[in-house]
Amino acid sequence: MASADLTWLIIRNNSSTLLKRSRQYMSLEPNNLKGRNSFRYNGLIHRKTVGIEPVKDGKGVVLVTRKSKGLRKPAKNLTRVELKKGSRRTIATIRRTLRYNNYRKDLINAAVRRTCAIIQSQKPVVIKSKARTAKKD
């Protein structure tokens, strides 16, 4: 496999997942935690990448990690783990998994923030109704 630097130089301006908008270029590739088109958050070029996705049924998140071995078999390269036990336990599991499996330290906070945003978006919105005052005759 080519180095991450060489791959980045090739795909940074020419990618099918690139969104060229007003000032900041966005990227839609899998395992890009922030959605930015940058070397740090790119999910295609690094050996070990992390992705956080919502679960299909709407409760919890899926932790997607790429193994560093077996890069020539992309279908078997990703592992997906559903985390549905609760927000604090989910965040602790993500931190522990990334730290003890020697994933990149700069992605831990980004993964936790994305997890919090997904969990927050899955909570139902409660509309508070205002108490009406009685009409005076």
Q: What is the pLDDT of residues 104-121, one digit of tens each?
A: 898 999 999 999 999 999
Query: Is domain 1-46 given the CATH code 1.10.8.50 in the classification?
Result: no
Where along the chain do the CATH 3.30.390.110 domains lie?
1-46, 48-123
Whole-angstrom distance, CA of residue 127 vs CA of residue 108: 34
Asked whether the beta carbons of 29 and 8 are under 8 A apart, the reply is no
What is the rounded average pLDDT for all residues in the chain?
A: 89
pTM: 0.82
Q: What residue spans of the chain are helical by DSSP H?
A: 4-11, 87-100, 108-122
Q: What residues contact residue 91 under an 8 Å CB cut-off, 6+ apart? A: 112, 115, 116
* pLDDT greater at residue 135 or residue 119: 119
What does the block give as tokens for 133? Answer: 């005052």
CATH class belonging to 48-123 = alpha beta
Query: What average pLDDT does range 14-25 have in this prediction?
Result: 86
Residues 59-68: tens digit of each pLDDT: 899 999 988 7
Residues 71-106: tens digit of each pLDDT: 788 778 889 999 999 899 999 999 999 999 998 898
Residue 69 backbone dihedrals phi, psi, to 5 degrees: -95, 155
